[in-house]
Structure 1
Amino acid sequence: MPPALAEKPGLFPDLEEVARAFALLTRGRPLVATPAGAAEAPVPLTEIAAYCALFPVAEPEEFVSLLRAMDEAYLRARMERMPKTGKD
């Protein structure tokens, strides 16, 4: 097993619901045009609201806040891996 997988941090049990939702919702995110080509956009709030309507979410405001934070971290990591265009 690669060290990164063997040493990965565990997920707090109260965040498992948010992680499952993120895994589902991230597949439906739109793409936007950038100078480097297409890039992923944030998960739309309408998609999060639809998720909350389909699945019971105990605290929607906290759920949205946590999901948005996870989404921002995901997009930041994706941007860091994108090749530089040299047009800075």
Structure 2
Amino acid sequence: MEKKLENLTKQEWDTLFPVELVSHNPMWKNIYEKEERKIIEKLGSETIIRIEHFGSTSIPGIRAKPYIDIIIEIPKDRLFDEEIINGLF
């Protein structure tokens, strides 16, 4: 019988979903900027209030999980807008 995620022990969780921290990669900024351009191209600048690179990869000089975190702020009345959601695929 398989366990549900909420019932996993810390050891089981760490085994299934290991966290890898790596040295800072200066290319992360360039990767973010490329993704930012693609997102703006897909959604249009009039849809986006703000877009930012955040999280550990945005901080030079620290070890980080090698994933680029991007936050996109859109108008409140467009939350869950299927056009926006589908535009990201």
Taking structure 2 as the reference length, the TM-score comes to 0.25
Bigger Rg, structure 1 or 2: 2
> Which has the larger helix fraction?
1
Taking structure 1 as the reference length, the TM-score comes to 0.25
